[in-house]
Amino acid sequence: MVNAPRYFVYKMTTDNGGAPSVANGLLSLAICKPVIRSSAEICDWIFGFGGEDLGARLIYIAEVNYKLSNGAYYRSRKYAKRPDCIYKYGVKENGFVRKRTALYHEGTKNLKKDIGEHHDYRNANVLLSCNFRYLGDEGKTLGDMKDEYPLLRKLLSSLKQGHLVNHDAKIVKELDELRNEVWDKYVCKVVGTPSDKDPSKRCSDDCGSVEVRC
């Protein structure tokens, strides 16, 4: 029996090309949101909405097509030049270190949050998607969704901190409808540009997220 895909919905405080990162037809979520990166599996869906500072817009929708764990993303030459591949394995340090050329997440506390403790690296999970729509600064706002997706709008308004699990077939239906609307409207995977132009802008994991299942 094949399990039904789960839907991960969360609010973003920053949309500067770091999380998610989009390049060469691939969307990756490698930094920030360690709980989602750990919990989500292949065939699950992720819906990223901006918080109030981002105009409460839909930023992106992505199906999880691949998942790399235990730091495999940062060890592979295939992904080494991607913007969010900000760590590398240092032989001298005998562990992962932040690249000197990295654009995002300066500071050792971010390394622990992104990939985990030294030699543990339980957070070093990276989600990859070939089936996505990144809207960025072109996304629809919650105000625009007022009549079409009332339950989703209410859910997003109530998200504060932490990761919640919500069992509600009606919300799943609205998420399906929103995804279908976006796919029908946009053929291109990348529609807009990052809302924040400053790559040094700090991300936050304090915005709430919810895992929705039927």
Q: Which residues pair with 47 in a beta bridge?
A: 9, 61
According to the model, what pLDDT value does residue 204 have? 59
**Angle between helix 169-185 and helix 150-158 axes, rounded to 10 deg:** 110
Which tens digits make up the pLDDT trace of 168-212?
A: 899 999 999 999 999 999 999 999 999 988 777 766 555 678 888
For the chain, the average pLDDT equals: 88
pTM: 0.92
Tell me the CA distances in angstroms from 63 to 20, 40, 51, 162, 190, one per residue in order: 13, 10, 21, 22, 14
The torsion angles phi and psi of 74, rounded to 5 degrees, stand at -85, -15
Q: How confident is the model at residue 20 (pLDDT cuts 50, 70, 90)?
A: very high
The torsion angles phi and psi of 88, rounded to 5 degrees, stand at -145, 160
Q: What angle do CA 68, 69, 73 make, to 5 degrees?
A: 55
Which tens digits make up the pLDDT trace of 67-80?
A: 999 999 999 999 99
State the Cα–Cα distance between residues 43 and 191, nearest whole angstrom. 22
State the Cα–Cα distance between residues 129 and 20, nearest whole angstrom. 10
Contact 6, 213 (CB under 8 A): yes
Q: How is residue 148 written in tokens?
A: 């079409």
According to the model, what pLDDT value does residue 161 have? 64
Which tens digits make up the pLDDT trace of 74-108?
A: 999 999 999 999 989 887 788 888 898 888 888 66
Residue 1: is its pLDDT beyond 60? Answer: no
Nearest to 58 by CA among 72, 68, 48: 48
State the Cα–Cα distance between residues 109 and 112, nearest whole angstrom. 5
State the Cα–Cα distance between residues 8 and 115, nearest whole angstrom. 20
Instruction: Give the torsion through C-alpha atoms of 197, 200, 201, 204, to 10 deg.
Output: 130
According to the model, what pLDDT value does residue 205 have? 53
